[in-house]
Amino acid sequence: MPRYALKIEYDGAPFAGWQRQAVLPSVQGAIEAALGRLEPGPHTIAAAGRTDTGVHATGQVAHCDLGKDWDPFRLAGALNAHLKPLPVAVVAAARVGEDFHARFSAIERRYLFRLLARRAPEVHDRGRVWRVPHPLDGAAMREAAIHLVGRHDFTTFRAIGCQAASPIKTLDELTLETVEVPNGVEYRFRLRARSFLHNQVRSIVGTLERVGAGAWAPDRVKEALEARDRAACGPVCPPQGLYLTGVGYPEDPFAAT
């Protein structure tokens, strides 16, 4: 059966996460239903990452096996037609070898978190940023973030129910961009690693926000990391500012699209 890689965008607000649910709407369920309208029969797709309720994506990758030999461009268009009016789009499709696996072939995941410091409620970005009503110190957050880059035991920044075999991960990148926006400042955190623990990104950003607000000294983040204790973590921030922006592979399946 021909295998296809799909690059997917979605607004996570109306979904109970990526993973198929028995009753609640999910991104996986929506795409599998669209595939069922193209080819009869049950379909199961695998994704590079299972995003939580309310988390968005601009570069999620999944793969599916189909009976028909589809032109990738037409496959993406047909899926998008059947996904309407849901806020999900297949932005690219590519034929891949049967050894390609969206999750297990991936060598990196990239995330963006958007934190808006603004007294007034957000309007146009409602549901797409985490707003705090107080100013933040970007330099202090950058100083604190340095402690988290590299290979560490991230038990402190791991959800209690995380099912990963080990809390040891290598965080290859954690950068912070400051952007002036109307009546406020947006802080854009970019994180890159081969893989992440459950709630790791939201735990890190929530902790760094405490540094920016002046409630934590930058060195306290280092102490929290070394404590290897979930109780030492700062607050876990809400999901609506988080985006899965890309997945890396040894060879980009979408390079020719």
Residues catalogued as catalytic:
52
For 28-34, the CB contacts below 8 A with 24+ separation are 28/62, 30/83, 30/86, 30/88, 31/6, 31/62, 31/79, 31/83, 31/88, 31/90, 33/82, 34/79, 34/82, 34/83
Residue 216 DSSP one-character state = S
Residue 138 tokens read as 């970007």
Give the H/E segment covering residue 58: strand 56-65
Residues near 16 by beta carbon (within 8 Å), at least 6 away in sequence? 24, 25, 26, 53
Taking a C-beta distance cutoff of 8 angstroms, is the pair 225, 148 a contact?
A: yes
CA distance 202 to 21: 23
CA distance 246 to 229: 30
CA-to-CA dists, residue 225 to 111, 206, 235, angstroms? 20, 14, 14
Beta bridge partners of 190: 112, 175
Taking a C-beta distance cutoff of 8 angstroms, is the pair 40, 17 a contact?
A: no
Taking a C-beta distance cutoff of 8 angstroms, is the pair 105, 94 a contact?
A: no
